[in-house]
Amino acid sequence: MIRNWILIALLCLSCAAIAAPSTLNWADLQPDDPALRARVAALNSAEKNRLIRAVQKRELEQAMKKDNVKPDALSEKDRQLLKEDLRDLSAFVDEIANFEKKRTSELKQALNQKEVRIDGYLLPLKQTDRKVTEFLLVPVIGACIHVPAPPPNQMIVVSYPQGYLQSGMFAPVTISGKLQVGTSKASLSLVDGSAMVEAGYRMQADDVRPYKRQDTKKQEVSQ
């Protein structure tokens, strides 16, 4: 949701450019616009709330246009929002919407062939002798199962020929190796069938190990 990005922008003014990445956050796999974040962060509280309402109004109008929301299902709050004049923010909302589309679709070409380290949740694709030899790494637990799959730039297909003894579904792990940029399809075997997802990155991992909380602390310090 676009308004979720606005809230994130208020918490993270800018993301440092990565010249020689080692430890990555998942946000590092997506394009960023520090100037746009700065503009949002510079707004006062009333202006930020008004911008969020403008985004909510845009999303509500689009949902109604697609017939996903019926007029008789609108709450009083929704009706008041539709009456509010927020036209002066239209260009700003367009700019945020265009960036959100870019943020969730484009890959970071600068990361191609870089040695990186990243934490995530393991979703097995192939197994040999009870060890996972290929898996999907995702940023949130439950991704691809109970909720829509993350965008391609938030998934990594990982090959690990020596195999990793998985402790359970969505085991938290830390992986390291050379990242490759380029979309690929992965077939997931689920309890109720299978699903095909598209990942934006691949890696033949040099190391896969259980995630430890201290790894995150080190990552935060390094930024």
Q: Each residue of 25-56: pLDDT tens digit? A: 999 999 999 999 999 999 999 999 999 999 99
Q: Any idea where the domains of the chain sit in the sequence?
A: 2-103, 110-222
Q: What is the pLDDT of residues 198-218, one digit of tens each?
A: 999 999 999 999 999 764 444
Q: What angle do CA 153, 2, 74 make, to 5 degrees?
A: 135
* CATH number 2.60.40.420 is the correct assignment for the domain at 110-222: no
Rounded Cα–Cα distance for residues 168 and 159 (Å): 18
* Reported pTM: 0.79
